[in-house]
Each structure stands twice: as C-alpha cells, then as structure tokens.
Structure 1
Amino acid sequence: MEHVVVFIRHGLSEWNRSDRFTGWTDIPLTEAGLNEAAAAGRRLAATGYGFDEAHASMLCRTRQTIETLVAAMGRPPLPIAETWRLNERHYGALQGMNKKEIFAAWGEEQSRRWWRGYVEAPPPLAFEDPRHPRFDPRYADLDPALLPVTESLADCQRRTLPYWHEVLAPRVKAGRRLLVASHGNTLRGLVMHFDGLDAEAMMHVEIAPGVPLVYRYTPDLQVIGREWLALP
C-alpha cells in the first residue's frame, strides 16, 4: 500500500515579480500566481488525485494557492490547517530588499552564501524593527523566543521538520490524503530530509513554483518515489 503526499510551492507573488526577498512578509499572489495554482489543480484532477485535508503556512499566498487549486479541481473546499512552522525561511534584514540592493550593501559573494548556502544566516532584524514578527498579531500566542529574526536554511529546516514528524507523518500513516502548500526554502528542507541530501547537494535544489511535487511512501514512511506533475 502506498501513502501519497502532494507538496506545492505557491505561485508568483507581487514581490517575486519584483525580485524582492519576501520571507515572512505577507504578500499576495499575482494574477499569474493564481493562474499557476489553477493549472496545478486541473493537472491534479486530470491525474486522479484527491485530498482529505490541506496544510499551509500562516502567509496568505499559500492559502490562496490551496483555495484556487481546489476550486480548479472542481472539489469542495478543504479544511486547511495553518502553521508558522511552514512559513518561508526568515531572511532577516534582507526582507523587502531586491538582489541589486543586497549586492550593493553586502557584496554578491557573501549575499549568495546567505541565500543558497545551508548554515549561514543573513543579518538579523533589530528588536525594534517594524518587520519583527513580534509585531504581527498572528504570532501573538507563540513564545517570543520561537520567533526568528533571521534564519539559515538549516534553521528553517529545524523549525519545519517537527511539523512533519509530529503532525503530517501520523496523518499520512493513518491514510489521510494531504495537500501541503508552502514555500521554496521550507520545501527544500523537506526534500533534503526525504532524499537524504547533504548540504552541498542542497545548494543545487530548486523547487518550481506552482508545480505539484508528489512523494510516495511505504506504510512506515520510507520514500519509494517522487515526481513533478508538470503541465503536459
């Protein structure tokens, strides 16, 4: 018996389009991003997929992706569990800046190590910076010590994996059909875990926006296959 989870990175957002580092900033999808989600839904419906529940980050672009995708499948709305553990990697002081601005401030070589490497985190946000997540009411119930002010990919992965082990994996074992909408770096961290990749290999992993990534597992959650459901 196979157990299947479909992961998807949200489609194009307003800040993706302007090449800005978004991180935890709550930026909606563009019309193109909504169209990407709808196309993914039609592809999933055409290949026979169905879902019992969905899981998303606390950022609106993942909920928009799920709702648009499911509507395009011609299915009723799914229950959606939202969690900060599926939020995008926190880019610290880089959030809201575009690559040209970052290169000018810190140099291209250092900047690339921050966003493509595994262990180096960008400069953190100051405690009083209005971008600090402690000012966002969505995180008011979280222990402030848990709120990141910057993250390396390794930090992001450590934050995400407990949700897989404690929430998603038991549901998969129980036979629930899951749709998980998240972000490029959180999904990179999960792929690293599932595929047993090292830090060097992770630098070359890309997660395509708006394209379903299907993982198949044994009943004890060993990976037995994965595929991208790209449009024909």
Structure 2
Amino acid sequence: MFNLILLRHGESEWNAKNLFTGWVDVRLSAKGEQEAKRGGELLKERGLLPDLVHTSVLRRAIATANLALDACDRHWIPVRRSWRLNERHYGALQGKDKAQTLATYGEEQFKLWRRSYDVPPPACLKDVVARMLPYWESAIVPDLRAGATVLVAAHGNSLRALVKHLDGISDSEIAELNIPTGIPLHYVLDVNLKPTKAGEYLDPAAAAEAIKAVANQGKK
C-alpha cells in the first residue's frame, strides 16, 4: 500500500480578495500561512510524515509546503517543483473580482468558466489533466513505488485534475468537486495505484465547511 497526501495551498492574498488568480504569483495571506501550518500539524498528529514533496513553481504552493513541513518537523526532506502542478491559467479573468464577474456574465457562464472540464479561458481543466498526468507518471508514481509517503502541495485545479484521475470522476461530475485550502487529503493506494477507499480529509468537519465556501466563491 502507498500513502499519498494532497494539500491545496493555504488562502492566498487574492483568495482573500475573491479574485481569479491562476498563474499570478501571489503570496499567502496571514490566514493562509496559519492554514499551511495547521496542515502540517495534522500530518504530525496522524503520523503521516512525508518523505518528499512535489509542488508547483508558484510561491503560494511552495510556501505552503515549507510551512507544513516545518510544522511536522520534516523541513529537511526533498522538495521537487514543476510547472506541471501549477494552477490552471485563467487568462483575461486573472485579477478580476469573482462577484463582479458573476454579476456581469450570469451564474451559468460563471460556473462554466470556473468548474467545467473542457471550457477555457484560455486553459481548462482538461488542459491541466493533460499537463499534470505526465508528471504524475514520470515523477510522483516512481516515488510512491519506491515506498515514499508523498505530499503533493499544489492548487485547486491541479489537485482536482489529480483527484479526477485517481477516483475516475467523469467529465461532467468533476464540476461539483471543490478542494479546500490547507487541509490534507490522504489517499491509500493499492499496488495498481488505485485508491483502496475514498480520500480522507484529516479534519473532515473543517473540510466540509471549507468546501461549501469554495463552492460559493463569487457570491457576497
């Protein structure tokens, strides 16, 4: 059996302002820093101590990984960075207020832009899956098969892409999947790298509340 931990970065400065972020390299908010630290504390409490980390090249994910590792006393382990784990690129929507975008274009278009599988701008989740899967196969899978407990500290959409692959979620159903910031999601994988059961948030109650908040982004 293999242990895989997924961790969406803590709240960023633009998350706090309800702005589309994408590839804009913003910092964590003070709340996001605390979320990242709490994520590391949860790993320590559960004894799920990572042997190495894969993260993106965006500072909010890198900072989350570093803060979580410090909190669980694993600051010394290898951290590998790849653009393939970056957030989805939102193009002209980057920097725009989600509530204003919702009010301007309506709920149907807003949800298509945010959560559909194959509707850009200019990238869609399908594109994220296409760039993420080669990294999964070439970099993360070998570490898992070597027996490492792997932490992937990344972004809402790059992690949605990975969860879609792991859980076999359909293109239509993926629109309903939201991943909260700063709460580790633990998978136990079998020899075929298939989940032995549904992924488990290490703080289920907090995750349930946070998932509702993510789903309601854009509404003030």
TM-score normalised by the chain length of structure 2: 0.88
**Alpha-carbon distance in structure 2 between the residues aligned to 1:11 and 1:76:** 17
Partner in structure 2 of residue 71 of structure 1: 70
**Map of 1:127-166 to 2, 5 A cutoff?**
150-166=122-138
**Alpha-carbon distance in structure 2 between the residues aligned to 1:76 and 1:184:** 23
Partner in structure 1 of residue 143 of structure 2: 171
**Alpha-carbon distance in structure 1 between the residues aligned to 2:175 and 2:189:** 25
Partner in structure 1 of residue 157 of structure 2: 185
Q: Which runs of 5+ in 1 are unaligned?
A: 123-149
Matched-pair contact (CA < 8 Å) for 1:65–1:181: yes
Deviation at 1:108, TM superposition (A): 3.8
Output one character per residue of 1:91-150: Cα deviation in whole Å (capped at 9) or x when no partner: 11101111234245544432221111111102xxxxxxxxxxxxxxxxxxxxxxxxxxx2
Matched-pair contact (CA < 8 Å) for 1:67–1:77: no
**Alpha-carbon distance in structure 2 between the residues aligned to 1:76 and 1:41:** 10
Q: Identity of paired residues, percent?
A: 40
Partner in structure 2 of residue 210 of structure 1: 182
Matched-pair contact (CA < 8 Å) for 1:173–1:220: no
2:172 aligned residue (151, 176, 200): 200
**Map of 1:23-172 to 2, 5 A cutoff?**
23-103=22-102, 106-122=105-121, 150-172=122-144
The residue identity in structure 1 corresponding to 2:203 is A
Computing the radius of gyration from Cα coordinates, the structure with the larger value is 1
Matched-pair contact (CA < 8 Å) for 2:18–2:99: no
Partner secondary structure for residue 189 of structure 1: helix
Q: Return 216-225 or 78-87, whichever deviates more.
A: 216-225
Matched-pair contact (CA < 8 Å) for 2:66–2:75: no
RMSD across aligned positions (CA): 1.5
Partner in structure 1 of residue 215 of structure 2: none
Partner in structure 2 of residue 129 of structure 1: none
The residue identity in structure 2 corresponding to 1:216 is V
**Alpha-carbon distance in structure 1 between the residues aligned to 2:146 and 2:180:** 29
Partner in structure 2 of residue 228 of structure 1: 201
**Alpha-carbon distance in structure 2 between the residues aligned to 1:49 and 1:107:** 43
Query: What is the total number of aligned residue pairs between the two structures?
Result: 204
